Amino acid sequence: MSERPAIFPAAHFVLVFLLGLLLHGSGVNAQNFDFNRLDKVIHSYSVIVDMTIEISFGTHTNEQEERLLGTIVTEDGLVIFDGSSLTQEHVFSSFAGFSVKTTPTGIKITTFDDKTYDAEYVGTDRFSKLGFARIVSPEEVTFTPVRFATGHQFQVGSWVALYMLLPEFVNPPLAADVGMISAMLETPEKFPLTVGYSVLELASVIFDDELTPVGVLGSMMDPSIAQADAGGMTESFGEYDVALLGVITGERLEKLIADPPQRGKEDRAWLGITLQALTKDIADFLEIDAPGGIIVNDVVRSSPAEKAGLKVGDVIYEINAQPIGVNREERLPIFQRRIAQMGPGTSVEFSVFRPGDQKTDTLKLFAVLDKAPLAPSEAPEYENKPLEFTVRDLVLADYIRYNQDEENFRGVVVSRLQRGGRAIVGGLQIGDVVQRVGSLPISSIDDMEAAMKRIEADRPGEAIFFIWRNNKTMFINVKTGWE
C-alpha cells in the first residue's frame, strides 16, 4: 500500500488475449481445466439478459434488442452484464455534440433453471463498461452469486478459462474457452470498443487454473472523460482491429458490487483543465526532465484547477509524488481516469513545472477535486409536448465547444425535436441555444418550463424563440396552432 497509494485503485490491469480457438486447433493441451466441474458452477450464477434499449438521437428514436451473458453477483439478485451499448451516448455525444440517450426500457433475466425475472436497470460503469441490473421478484428469492477472489496474482502466460454466450439458434447456450494472460499493463495504451465482438465477451467471468473466479473481462476506456473534463481527445479510439480486453480484477469488482454505479448519480472527480500530453519532443524543447506529464492548455473558471493556481502552460509531472507516464496523446485517458476515480473531495498534490521566459520554476500545487460536471447526455431535460421539442441545460462541455463564457452565455440547448413537429417546422434545429422565449430570458430548463406554461395559458398563435446558432443569433416563429 505504501508503494501504491489509494489514488491508484486499479492501476494494475491485466491483459487477456484470448487464444482459445488457436489452442484448440493446434492441439496444445497446456491446461487441464476441469470443464465438467466448471460447467455446473457457471450455470448456477450465469443468466441470460434480454434487454430492450431505446436510443434517442436527434429527431430519431429507435429500439434495439440485446441478448447478453450476465452473472449474478449478490444474493438479492444484482446482475452484471456487458453495458457497452448503454454507454454509447457518451461516445456519440462527444463527437456529434448533441444528446444521445440510451435507455433500457425492459430487462428480462433468465436463469439456467429456466426462471425469468424482470429486472431494473441500475447503471453502467464508464470505465469497465460493466452494466448493472437488479432482479425484481414478487416473492423473496435468494440467489447464488459468484464470489470473486481478491488478491489473485496474475502472471503473463498463466491460463484462464471463461465462457461466452452462443447465438440463440444453438444449444447449449454457453461455450467454454481458454485464454492466456498476455501482458500486464500498468498503463493501458489503447482499448478499442468491443461492441458486438463475439469471442471476447465483455463481462464474462474469468477463472484461474483452480477454477476460482478472479475477475471479468472489461474495457478500460471512458471516452466521455475527455469531454467532461475539458474537450477533445475523442479521436484516439478504434485504431486497432485486434480486440484487447483487460481483466477487471476482484478488488475492483468488490467495490463496484458494493456500490454499483447509478445512472445519473456517478460521482467522477474533476480537475477542470484542457490537457495535452508532454511528449518527449516538447519536454526536450522546454528542457523539462520528466518521462511524461500533462500540459495545461486551458483552465476552466472556478474549477479546482483554477483554485489550485494551475495556469495555462504549466506542466504537471507528478500526482501525489507519483510520476505521470503520459508521453503520448493516446495516453491522456490514463491521467483523466486517475483523476476521475479519485472521487470528489479528494485532495491532490500536483508537482508542476512552470516554464518562464528565463527559467522554469518547480511548484507544488494542491487541489481539492470537485464532482465532474454533467456530460450533455446527463443534463436535465424539459420536454414540451404541445410544440414538440425537448431542451436541456447548458453544461460545461457546451461552453467549451461553443467557445463561450459561462458568465455571459445563457440559454438551453435544443436536444430533441419531433419530426414534422411544430418546433422543427418553425425552424428550430437540434443544437440551437434558446436564449429567449417571447420577452422572457431563458437560462435553465426551469425558465423554459415557466415560459412555456405562460404561453400555454395565453394560447397565442405563435411563439417567438430567440436563439443562438453558429455564433449568430436569430428569431424563430413557431406556430402553435392555437388560434
Partner 1 sequence: MVRMTMLLWLLVVVSASAQTPISSLQQEIYDARDRVLPALVHIQPVIKDYRTGELKKQAVVGSGVIFHPDGYLVTNFHVAGKAERIICTLYDKEQVPALYIGGDPPTDIAVLKLQLDDYTGHIAIAALGNSDSVQVGQHVLAMGSPFSLSRTVSAGVVSTKDRFFSSEYRLPSGERTGHYNLWIQTDAAINPGNSGGPLVDLSGRVIGINSRATFLANNLGFAIPINIVKEVTASILEGGKVSRSWIGVQCQALQELEDYFGAQRNSGVLIASVDPGSPAERNYLKAGDIILAVDGDAVSARFVEELPRFYKKIASYAPGSEITLRVLRDENEYEFKLTTEELGDLQGEDFECADWGLTVKAITQQMQIENQLEDTLGVYVMGVKQVGAADIGGIHPGDIIISVNKMPVQGFADFIRTYNDLSAAATPRVLLAVNRNGAIRLAVLNVDSSQEGIVHE
* Choice from 282, 363, 425, 440 touching partner 1 (CB under 8 A): 282
97 near partner 1, rule: CB under 8 A: no
Centroid of chain to Cα 268: 10
* Choice from 64, 347, 360, 473 touching partner 1 (CB under 8 A): 473
239 near partner 1, rule: CB under 8 A: yes
* Choice from 59, 137, 234, 297 touching partner 1 (CB under 8 A): 297
19 near partner 1, rule: CB under 8 A: no
* Choice from 2, 26, 171, 403 touching partner 1 (CB under 8 A): 403
* Choice from 186, 453, 474, 482 touching partner 1 (CB under 8 A): 474
401 near partner 1, rule: CB under 8 A: yes
Centroid of chain to Cα 64: 20
Shortest Å distance, C-beta 473 to partner 1: 4
323 near partner 1, rule: CB under 8 A: no
472 near partner 1, rule: CB under 8 A: yes
213 near partner 1, rule: CB under 8 A: no
* Choice from 161, 326, 365, 400 touching partner 1 (CB under 8 A): 400
* Choice from 223, 231, 250, 292 touching partner 1 (CB under 8 A): 231
For partner 1, the closer of residues 108 and 328 by Cβ is: 328
* Choice from 196, 313, 441, 481 touching partner 1 (CB under 8 A): 313
Q: 3-class secondary structure for 38-58?
A: HHHHHHHHEEEEEEEEEEEEC
Q: Which helix (H) or strand (E) holds 251?
A: helix 250-258
CA pair distance 226, 223, nearest whole angstrom = 6
284 near partner 1, rule: CB under 8 A: yes
Phi, psi of 256 (to 5 degrees): -65, -40
CA pair distance 34, 20, nearest whole angstrom = 15
Residues 341-360, mask of contacts with partner 1 (x by CB under 8 A): ----------------x---
Residue 258 — left, alpha, or beta (φ > 0 → left; ψ -120 to 50 → alpha)?
A: alpha
**Among 409, 396, 383, 381, CA closest to 467:** 409
CB atoms under 10 Å from CB of 403, counted, come to 9
Q: Assess contact for 324 and 318: CB atoms under 8 A.
A: yes
Shortest Å distance, C-beta 152 to partner 1: 32
209 near partner 1, rule: CB under 8 A: no
CB atoms under 10 Å from CB of 220, counted, come to 21
DSSP class of residue 329?
G
CA pair distance 220, 337, nearest whole angstrom = 9
- 10 Å CB burial of residue 320 (0-12, 13-18, 19+) is middle
44 near partner 1, rule: CB under 8 A: no
Q: Which of residues 260-279 bind partner 1 (CB under 8 A)?
A: 274, 276, 279
Shortest Å distance, C-beta 161 to partner 1: 31
Instruction: Give me 373's grid cell.
Output: 460536471
Number of H helices and E strands in the chain, helices first, is 11, 27
For partner 1, the closer of residues 314 and 381 by Cβ is: 314
Shortest Å distance, C-beta 98 to partner 1: 17
For partner 1, the closer of residues 125 and 314 by Cβ is: 314
Phi, psi of 109 (to 5 degrees): -120, 125
Of the ranges 128-136, 197-205, 226-234, 249-257, which one interacts with partner 1 (CB under 8 A)? 226-234
Of the ranges 211-219, 244-252, 280-288, 413-421, which one interacts with partner 1 (CB under 8 A)? 280-288
136 near partner 1, rule: CB under 8 A: no
Beta-bridge mates of residue 370: 270
**Among 189, 99, 77, CA closest to 416:** 99
Task: For residue 277, give Cα distances in angstroms to 119, 128, 207, 269.
Answer: 43, 23, 37, 20
Instruction: Give me 100's grid cell.
Output: 444521445
For partner 1, the closer of residues 330 and 383 by Cβ is: 330
> Interface residues with partner 1 (CB under 8 A)?
230-232, 239-240, 274, 276, 279, 281-282, 284-286, 295, 297-298, 312-313, 329, 357, 400-401, 403, 438, 462, 464, 466, 471-475, 477
